[in-house]
């Protein structure tokens, strides 16, 4: 049917059976399409609507909640473009703006880890490119099942090699991210990729097709059968326990990072020559998405001649051409008088470019194939998609879960017990040295990386003369979010905010990747709604906007959803990267100071997980005023050159922060603790940091802490080659290092 | 080169034109995506048609990482670079020992000097037949060696070699990422660039 299914045929054959269910549309949605068109859709139109209305492309379940994230005027101070555009654009001063966004590639990365993760990088890079920015760095936030699980051994090495293969070849430094393990992610790994791009204020591009008669150009790779309905349909349904995976396997895309590199340089030259009226990257839903979004965002219609689209497989049907997710493609709207210059620049970069149509005035998206019209739709009806107010339900077991706190768990009673606990946490896969992974990433290429993993935040220089830079961090904690999605999301926001501040940068904007289970489960929808509410409230409190993000649903196997896992990215502006400090102890004889208040907070903690495999109680409290004061203090102190190091406290509390500061800096410390040693070492109270002070400037720093109303407790001094906690234990750095570095190589080889 | 006080000039791969430069650096990167073999396609770029005879005539050429791979593929340097031992990309700061401080690219160093410079490569293991390796060692054409063993499995811990005349040098580590402690592990790598500027301006080492 699809071969000859023209608009005319469709109008004549209303009774024809169509595979809308197989394409992921419901009965109601299919009927709605028929109502919009006043006839049944053609096969090509059905394909187009099915991908555009998929959860992945339309956000139909999450949209009503995401509206809460619209920034207020106060939050929008530094914003040039917000949610709705491909990615938010933030003014960082000195005429520069940056755009950044995080996106999931979870489902493809489970099905085919290497290509799934690789094309995740490729997709987010094109998103940033489409804003008019030069991509300057990437990050990745990864979550897998238990490190020693059979399937993790298949998925993790492939994901890492895919990110390494694509990002390194593309010439983008990978400056940080996360790596965590939890049984909740077995069968549903989370592969979230972030890209940040840099532009001048005037370089901002928009994804609209305006100007009747302007040419529509498709450029980059040819369109092939790979990824037909991939991310859009694949990422919009739950993996079954049965043959579902096998059936979907061929739909993962294949990446060509060298073509992407050519495409990046080609686009930047096209921008510089001012030859583009509008531009859109081709990601999920390929040509279908680019044509509908460009024309829906413009003021007219669009005509496309599908016969001239360069194909890798001449047997593709119109529906397949529309749905193909072949990578490394872009679509631009170009004035006719600029077309030849446009094509010449593409030739210079060996990028194939084809004029496939033009902007029209009839308000319709029309496509012809082999002489007949196969698509004729009002584009906005496809681009906007349905909106669902799905039912919400607080989990029935949540009260019981929150009531079964960690209070009754056995705690180490003496020095040797505390020592053993510290080493158990430090060697646990989620807290162990990540070099097995990060050594496969090039963090230096482009020559502007000032800080990268394992530092708290990545830091990239933007202005060589002025020292202007940007800092980035991502954080998420599914365990906290299971206990309380509102608070858990706020804790992730607080941690990313704190991490950025540790470099000396001022946090200014937020991106988010919301990884959840099936929206058809009211419990999952409740988690999503609570999470978004927490994020919105937190950002308002901190006075910084959410500039964009991505929602990944259906992360579940059968009826079991993953931990609700919003991953929050925070961007900061660094006025002078030359003043930055490391998280590691950098100076001998430096006073070691704990900033912030420590309470007895163990719900969802690393200790409860590693030692007791326990999840219950309430996550730590959030105090955004305290977070803000801490950030202001550390930023001011870094800028004044008072600090020798700064490291935030998070999972594993002070114990892990001390161990990491010793290991990163290759230097020991001797500290004394007040009150209950176990709480002092392992509590995960938020709004805390571990700093060391440049010798001779202790009083100055104490005065600054007092001025900013941040509690500062002197713990001791950096010295020697052991981590010594007076009256409790000491651990030589060699032993710390062995425990820390040994874990991942022992598992992954 | 700018840090070292020289004026960098970009050469385009598709132009048969060296634009009158005094020395050429083939930088790292992934020319043609490393498809087929790293450097195997770039070796046939039009600009190489000019570069190869100029290098034979004595033009100073430094190949870094992918540049080294291209020089081997172009037979300006012997041997080849193959997949790392362990078959994974490796990025790490390593210690290097300068073993030949007589080339124009290393004249600013002292023989035996230790440098901290990053490596980042997937196909960085230098290999050659035993006779070639012996010949390189005997004639002092091993320019830098990994001080603490080669993470990538390079034969005889070789990190860089030169041609017989010494004007063409290939390095697997990345000295351009060690020119400023702000953006790299040290400033040790700057010496390669100041060396060539010194050699070209007659300032000597």
3-class DSSP state for residue A285?
A: strand
What letter would DSSP give residue A508? E
Is the torsion defined by CA of A712, A716, A718, A723 positive or negative? Answer: negative
Read off the pLDDT band of A73 (50, 70, 90): confident
Q: Measured between CA atoms, how close is A421 to chain B, in angstroms?
A: 31
Confidence band of A614 (pLDDT split at 50, 70, 90): very high
Helix (H) or strand (E) holding A454: none
Query: Last residue of a domain, which of A13, A41, A56?
Result: A56
Element of type H or E holding B191: helix B190-201
Average pLDDT over residues B120-125: 96
Measuring CA to CA, which residue among A537, A528, A458, A556 is closest to residue A491? Answer: A537
Would you state the pLDDT for residue A76? 83
Residue recorded with tokens 């880890």: A113
Residue A730 sits at the chain B interface (C-beta within 8 Å)? no
Tell whether A18 and A96 lie within a shared domain.
Answer: no
Q: How far is Cα A612 from Cα A738, in angstroms, rounded to an integer?
A: 23
Per-residue pLDDT at A298 = 84
Asked if the model's pLDDT at residue A85 lies above 60, the reply is no
Kindly tell me if the per-residue pLDDT of A203 is higher than 90: no
Phi, psi of A330 (to 5 degrees): -135, 160
Query: B146 is in which domain, residue-wise?
Result: 24-200
Chain segment A352-368, per-residue pLDDT in tens: 999 999 999 999 999 99
| Selected residues 18-57 of chain B with any CB under 8 Å from a CB in chain A | 28-30, 32-35
What are A483's two structure tokens?
A: 């206990």
Q: What is the CATH number of the domain that holds B81?
A: 3.40.50.880
Q: Can you say how many angstroms the Cα of residue A256 is from the centroid of all Cα atoms in its chain?
A: 21
Segments forming the whole domain that contains residue A10? 2-56
Cα–Cα distance, B201 to A45 (Å, whole number): 68
Q: What is the pLDDT of residue A250?
A: 52
Give the mean model confidence (pLDDT) for residues A34-59. 95
Predicted confidence (pLDDT) at residue A1 exceeds the cutoff of 50: no
Shortest Cα distance, chain B CAs vs residue A226, angstroms = 20
Contact predicate B172/B152, CB 8 Å = yes
Q: Does residue B105 fall inside a structural domain? A: yes
Distance of CA B1 to the CA centre of its chain: 14
Average pLDDT, chain A: 94
Question: A624-648 burial, b if ≥16 CB within 10 A, otherwise e?
Answer: bebbbbbbbbbbbbbbeebbbbbbb
- A33 and A139 belong to one structural domain: no
Q: Do both A251 and A370 map to the same domain? A: yes
Phi/psi of residue B151, nearest 5 degrees: -60, -30
* Cβ–Cβ contact A440 with B under 8 A: yes
Which is the catalytic residue, given B50, B65, B123, B177? B65
Closest CA of chain B from A267, distance in Å: 18
pLDDT at A237: 56
- pLDDT value at residue A3: 53
Confidence of residue A238 (pLDDT cuts 50, 70, 90): low
CB-nearest partner of A444 from B30, B118, B122: B118
A210 contacts chain B (CB < 8 A) = no
pLDDT at A243 over 60: no
The answer to the question of residue A680 being in a domain is yes
Confidence of residue A247 (pLDDT cuts 50, 70, 90): very low
Structure tokens at A82: 């917000």
pLDDT at A46: 96
Write out chain B residues lying below 8 Å of A449, CB-based.
Answer: 183
Answer yes or no: do A258 and B32 touch at CB < 8 A: yes
CB atoms B33 and A169 under 8 Å: yes
Nearest to B25 by CA among B187, B174, B179: B174
**A194 forms bridges with which residues in the sheet?**
A102, A139
Q: How many domains does chain B have?
A: 1
Q: What is the pLDDT of residues A448-465, one digit of tens each?
A: 999 999 999 999 999 999
Give me B26's structure tokens.
Answer: 């083939």
Inform me whether the pLDDT recorded for B204 exceeds 50: no
Indicate the residue of B34, B91, B177 with minimum beta-carbon distance to A169: B34
Q: Which residue of B has its CA nearest to A166?
A: B33
Segment A255-275 mean pLDDT: 96
Q: At what angle do helices A150-170 and A257-272 cross, to 10 degrees?
A: 40
* Cα(A351)–Cα(A2) distance, integer angstroms: 31
- Structure confidence at residue B100 (pLDDT): 97
A203 with A77, same domain: the answer is yes
The owner of tokens 């208040």 is A597
Look at residue B5 and tell me if it is in a domain: no
CB-based contact A168 B89, cutoff 8 Å: yes
In this structure, is residue A568 part of a structural domain?
no
When pLDDT is cut at 50, 70 and 90, the band that residue A233 belongs to is low
Cβ neighbourhood burial of A74 (10 Å; 0-12, 13-18, 19+) = exposed
Backbone φ and ψ for A178, nearest 5 degrees, come out as -140, 155
Q: Do A252 and A115 touch, CB atoms closer than 8 A? A: yes
- Do the chains contact at A448 and B184, CB–CB below 8 Å? no
Chains A, B: CB contacts within 8 A come to 61
User: For residues A142 and A165, what is the distance between their CA atoms, to the nearest angstrom?
Assistant: 16
The whole-number average pLDDT for the span B72-89 is 96
Do A122 and A206 lie in one domain? The reply is yes
Q: What is the mean pLDDT of residues A118-123?
A: 96
pLDDT, mean of residues B135-146:
98
Report, as an integer, the average pLDDT of B36-45. Answer: 94
Torsional class of A712: left (φ above 0), alpha (ψ -120 to 50), beta (otherwise): beta
pTM for this model (two decimals): 0.95
CATH of the domain at A688: 3.90.650.10
A518 found inside a domain: no
How sure is the predictor about A249, in pLDDT bands with cuts at 50, 70 and 90? very low
B30, B91, B184: residue with CB nearest A441: B91
The answer, for B10 touching chain A at a CB cutoff of 8 Å, is no
Give yes or no for residue A256 having a pLDDT over 60. Answer: yes
Residue A119 lies in a domain: yes
At A440, which helix (H) or strand (E)?
none
Residue A95 has pLDDT above 50, yes or no: yes
Q: Residue A2 pLDDT > 50, yes or no?
A: no
- What share of chain A in percent tops pLDDT 70? 96
Nearest to residue A37, comparing CAs of A24, A21, A49? A49
- For A595, other C-beta atoms within 10 Å of its C-beta total 25
pLDDT at A171 over 50: yes
In a domain, A75, yes or no: yes
Computed on alpha carbons and rounded to an integer, the radius of gyration of chain B in Å comes to 16
Q: Tens of pLDDT along B54-79?
A: 999 999 999 999 999 999 999 999 99
Please report whether residue B60 resides in a domain: yes
- Residue B13 is among the residues annotated as catalytic for this protein: no
Query: Taking the CB of residue B113, how many other CB atoms lie within 10 A of it?
Result: 16
How many domains does one find in chain A?
Answer: 3
Kindly state the percentage of chain A with pLDDT values over 90: 89
- C-beta of residue A310 within 8 angstroms of C-beta of residue A352: yes
- Give CA–CA dist A300/A360, Å, rounded: 6
**Residue among A56, A338, A574, A647 flagged as catalytic:** A56
- Interface test with chain B among A136, A159, A169, by most B beta carbons within 10 Å: A169
Same domain, A586 and A638: yes
Cβ atoms B24, B11 nearer than 8 A? yes
Same domain, A283 and A342: yes
Q: Could you say which of B32, B122, B176 has the minimum Cβ distance to residue A447?
A: B176
């Amino acid at each position: 049917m699809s071969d000859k299914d023209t608009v005319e045929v469709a109008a004549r054959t209303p009774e024809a059976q169509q595979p809308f269910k197989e394409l992921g549309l419901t009965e109601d949605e299919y009927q709605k399409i028929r109502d919009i068109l006043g006839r049944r859709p053609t096969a090509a139109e059905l394909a187009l609507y099915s991908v555009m209305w998929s959860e992945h492309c339309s956000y139909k379940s999450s949209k009503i909640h995401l509206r809460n994230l619209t920034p207020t005027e106060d939050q929008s101070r530094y914003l040039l473009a917000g949610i709705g555009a491909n990615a938010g654009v933030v003014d960082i001063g000195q005429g520069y703006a940056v755009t950044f966004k995080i996106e999931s590639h979870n489902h493809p990365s489970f099905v085919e880890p290497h290509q799934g993760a690789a094309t995740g990088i490729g997709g987010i890079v094109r998103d940033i490119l489409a804003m008019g920015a030069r991509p300057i760095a990437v990050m990745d936030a990864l979550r897998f099942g238990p490190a020693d699980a059979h399937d993790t051994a298949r998925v993790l090495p492939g994901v890492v090699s895919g990110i390494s293969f694509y990002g390194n070849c593309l010439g983008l430094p990978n400056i940080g991210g996360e790596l965590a393990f939890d049984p909740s992610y077995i069968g549903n790994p989370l592969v979230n990729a972030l890209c940040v791009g840099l532009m001048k204020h005037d370089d901002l591009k928009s994804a609209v097709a305006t100007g009747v008669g302007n040419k529509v150009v498709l450029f980059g790779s040819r369109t092939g059968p790979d990824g037909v309905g991939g991310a859009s349909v694949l990422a919009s349904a739950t993996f079954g326990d049965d043959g579902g995976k096998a059936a979907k396997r061929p739909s993962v895309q294949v990446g060509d990072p060298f073509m992407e590199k050519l495409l990046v340089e080609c686009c930047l030259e096209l921008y510089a020559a001012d030859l583009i009226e509008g531009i859109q990257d081709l990601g999920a839903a390929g040509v279908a998405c680019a044509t509908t979004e460009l024309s829906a965002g413009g003021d007219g219609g669009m005509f496309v001649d599908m016969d001239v689209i360069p194909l890798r497989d001449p047997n593709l049907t119109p529906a397949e051409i529309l749905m193909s997710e072949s990578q490394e493609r872009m679509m631009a709207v170009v004035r006719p008088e600029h077309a030849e210059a446009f094509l010449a620049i593409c030739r210079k970069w060996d990028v194939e470019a084809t004029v496939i149509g033009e902007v029209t005035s009839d308000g319709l998206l029309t496509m012809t194939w082999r002489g007949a019209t196969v698509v004729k739709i009002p584009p906005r009806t496809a681009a906007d998609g349905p909106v669902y107010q799905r039912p919400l339900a607080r989990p029935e077991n949540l009260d019981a879960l929150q009531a079964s706190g960690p209070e009754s768990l056995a705690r180490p009673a003496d020095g040797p017990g505390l020592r053993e606990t510290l080493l158990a946490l430090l060697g646990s896969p989620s807290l162990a040295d990540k070099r097995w992974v990060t050594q496969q990433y090039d963090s230096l290429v482009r020559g502007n990386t000032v800080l990268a993993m394992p530092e708290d935040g990545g830091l990239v220089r933007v202005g060589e003369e002025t020292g202007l830079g940007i800092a980035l961090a991502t954080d998420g904690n599914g365990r906290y979010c299971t206990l309380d999605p509102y608070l858990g999301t706020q804790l992730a926001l607080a941690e990313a905010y704190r991490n950025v501040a540790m470099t000396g940068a001022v946090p200014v904007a937020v991106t988010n990747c919301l990884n959840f289970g099936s929206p058809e489960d009211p419990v999952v929808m409740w988690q999503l709604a609570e999470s978004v509410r927490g994020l919105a409230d937190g950002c308002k409190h901190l006075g910084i906007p959410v500039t964009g993000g991505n929602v990944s649903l259906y992360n579940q196997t059968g009826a079991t959803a993953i931990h609700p896992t919003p991953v929050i990215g925070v961007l900061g502006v660094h006025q002078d990267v030359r003043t930055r400090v490391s998280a590691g102890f950098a100076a001998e004889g430096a006073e070691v100071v704990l900033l912030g208040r420590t309470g007895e907070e163990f719900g969802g903690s690393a200790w409860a997980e590693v030692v007791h495999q326990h999840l219950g109680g309430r996550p730590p409290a959030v105090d955004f005023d305290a977070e803000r004061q801490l950030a202001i203090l550390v930023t001011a102190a870094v800028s004044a050159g008072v600090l020798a190091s700064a490291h935030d406290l998070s999972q594993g509390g002070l114990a892990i922060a001390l161990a990491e500061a010793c290991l990163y800096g290759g230097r020991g410390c001797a500290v004394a603790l007040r009150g209950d040693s176990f709480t002092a070492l392992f509590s995960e109270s938020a709004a805390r940091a571990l700093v060391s002070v440049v010798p001779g400037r202790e009083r100055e720093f104490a005065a600054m802490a007092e001025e900013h109303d941040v509690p500062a407790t002197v713990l001791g001094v950096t010295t020697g080659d052991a981590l010594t906690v007076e009256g409790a234990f000491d651990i030589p750095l060699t032993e710390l290092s062995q425990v820390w570095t040994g874990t991942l190589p022992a598992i992954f080889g | 080169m700018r840090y070292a006080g020289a004026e960098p000039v970009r050469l385009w791969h598709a132009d048969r034109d060296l634009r009158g430069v005094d020395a050429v650096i083939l930088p790292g990167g992934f020319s043609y995506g490393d498809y087929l073999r790293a450097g195997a396609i770039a070796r046939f770029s039009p600009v190489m048609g000019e570069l190869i005879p100029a290098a034979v005539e004595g033009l100073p050429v430094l190949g870094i990482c992918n540049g080294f791979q291209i020089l081997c593929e172009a037979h300006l340097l012997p041997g080849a670079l193959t997949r790392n031992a362990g078959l994974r990309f490796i990025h790490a700061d390593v210690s290097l020992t300068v073993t030949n401080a007589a080339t124009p690219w290393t004249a600013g160093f002292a023989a035996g000097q230790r440098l901290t410079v990053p490596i980042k490569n997937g196909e960085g293991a230098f290999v050659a037949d035993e006779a070639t390796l012996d010949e390189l060692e005997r004639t002092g054409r091993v320019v830098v060696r990994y001080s603490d063993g080669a993470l990538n499995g390079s034969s005889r811990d070789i990190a860089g070699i030169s041609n017989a005349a010494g004007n063409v040098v290939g390095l697997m580590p990345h000295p351009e990422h060690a020119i400023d402690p702000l953006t790299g592990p040290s400033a040790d790598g700057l010496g390669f660039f100041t060396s060539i500027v010194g050699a070209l301006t007659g300032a000597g080492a």
